[in-house]
A and B are shown apart, each in its own frame.
Chain A
Amino acid sequence: MAKTLAQEFTKGLWKEIPPFRLVLGLCPVLGVTTTVENGVGMGLATTFVLVCANLLVSMLRNVIPPKVRIACFIVVIATFVTLVELVMQAYAYPLFLKLGLFIPLIVVNCIVLGRAEAFAYKNGITSSLADGLGIGIGFTMSLAALGAVREVLGTGCFTIPFGAKLTLLTADWYTPFTFMVQAPGAFIGLGLMLCLMNLVPSK
């Protein structure tokens, strides 16, 4: 194997971090990142689907005929998404309501399908697992970062995921611009973050 497991894992955290380096799966990135908590919840759900789908696809890669592989990937991914949907409905109902439409939409998230096609179908089980985990964690971090920027600028508060809500910028000197938590803020926030990422020279 040319690359070590550690390299497969860490490439998802910076070199190929979605959605900045791989511009895929933008819809949940823009749609749910009004708070850090939503971002992290969405990121974890996607990570779970990504890891499980990568694992199963790489296990079945010798059985799946190349001609119908995309359909097979979609069925595998849809199964795990349904699983996440039902589990969240049972144990994290408030978060499920907030994420709403975007949970079933993990099925059509290009990152998940892209990793199955580009990586798991060609590589062994352990490296697929490392790849899925790395990309998933990278995706969660990006969502959390964008969520933090939008939440702090838009409301002046910062919610620790699944914990307390802190007021960082108090109302007496800071007027929150609610624009950031609405639709345009998502596009502009992500665009500016992408610009910052581009400023850092890549190796």
Chain B
Amino acid sequence: MEHYIVLVISCIFVNNILLAQFLGNCPFLGTSKKIETAVGMAMAVIFVLVMAGGITWLVNTYILIPFKLEYLQTIAFILVIASLVQFVEMFLKKSIPGLYAGLGIFLPLITTNCAVFGVCIINIKEEYSFLEALVSSFSYAAGFGLALILFAGVRERIILARVPKPLQDTSIGLITAGILALAFMGFKGMV
């Protein structure tokens, strides 16, 4: 049990996927202008990442390794993620329209979210067991959501401030993200 708690803390705070590992930065800057969109994106990422993490682990362990096809990992994983996203989108549209309306526009974006693909590869690289892979996928996604929502909150305030013209928009966004990353560095000694 203790092992899993350490894993969760290290994935959410210490190795935060956005601010320490630099994965998933495009949606980080793209969907962080409003808290509502940030929450939608965070939910969609948690939902897809847990499923993708589990399925790619199974694909790797029961298909790629027995047939000695590890060199196809990149192609296999991206196809699994792309089709999973499509499938989830269709399933939600049919059966849970309420959730679909909330997550809808963010789902297609997730295919090219490197956080999802990156975490799947990290799970394999670290040789996690199935349960560990699920826990780490969830925690990385939660860390993504945490950083995204915090950042969106800061950005909503920045709109009200008078920012010099050349620094506006993405530029000040990146600098703010840097300061947020500095805050997250404080967690470094924890695990």
A contact residues vs B (CB 8 Å cutoff): 23-27, 30-31, 70-71, 74-75, 78-79, 81-82, 85-86, 101, 104-105, 107-110, 113, 179, 182-188, 190-192, 194-196, 198-199
Contacts and interface: CB of A to CB of B under 8 A. Distances in A.
Given A23-B170, A105-B117, A110 B26 contact: yes
B25 A71 contact: no
Contacts of A79: 75
Contacts of A26: 22, 25-26, 29
A50 B66 CA distance: 32
Is chain A's binding surface mostly helix, strand, loop or mixed?
helix
Given A30-B22, A101-B118, A183-B20, 18 more contacts: A23-B29, A27-B23, A75-B75, A81-B74, A101-B121, A101-B122, A107-B117, A108-B112, A179-B182, A184-B181, A184-B185, A185-B178, A187-B177, A191-B172, A191-B175, A192-B171, A196-B166, A199-B166
Interface residues of B, number: 43
28 contacts: A23-B170, A24-B26, A27-B23, A27-B24, A70-B82, A74-B111, A75-B75, A101-B122, A104-B74, A104-B117, A105-B118, A105-B121, A107-B117, A110-B112, A182-B185, A183-B181, A184-B178, A184-B179, A187-B174, A187-B181, A188-B178, A191-B167, A191-B170, A191-B171, A191-B172, A194-B171, A195-B166, A198-B165
Contact of B171 (A75, A110, A195): A195
Contacts of B73: 104
Interface in B102-159: 111-114, 117-118, 121-122, 125
B72 interface: yes
Contacts of B168: 198
Kindly list the 10 A-B residue pairs having the minimum CB-CB distance in the complex, ordered from nearest. Answer: A191-B174, A187-B178, A188-B178, A31-B22, A198-B166, A191-B175, A26-B25, A184-B181, A78-B75, A194-B171
B66 to A, nearest CB: 20
A186 B178 contact: yes
A169 B73 CA distance: 43
Nearest to B184: A183
A70 B166 CA distance: 35
A108 B114 CA distance: 6
B71 interface: yes
A198 B171 contact: yes
A152 B38 CA distance: 35
Contacts of A188: 174-175, 178-179
Interface of B: 19-26, 29, 71-75, 78-79, 82, 111-114, 117-118, 121-122, 125, 165-168, 170-175, 177-179, 181-182, 184-185
Nearest to B183: A184
A85 B172 CA distance: 35
Contacts of B170: 23, 191, 194
B30 to A, nearest CB: 8
A107 B175 contact: no
A192 B154 CA distance: 19
A120 to B, nearest CB: 16
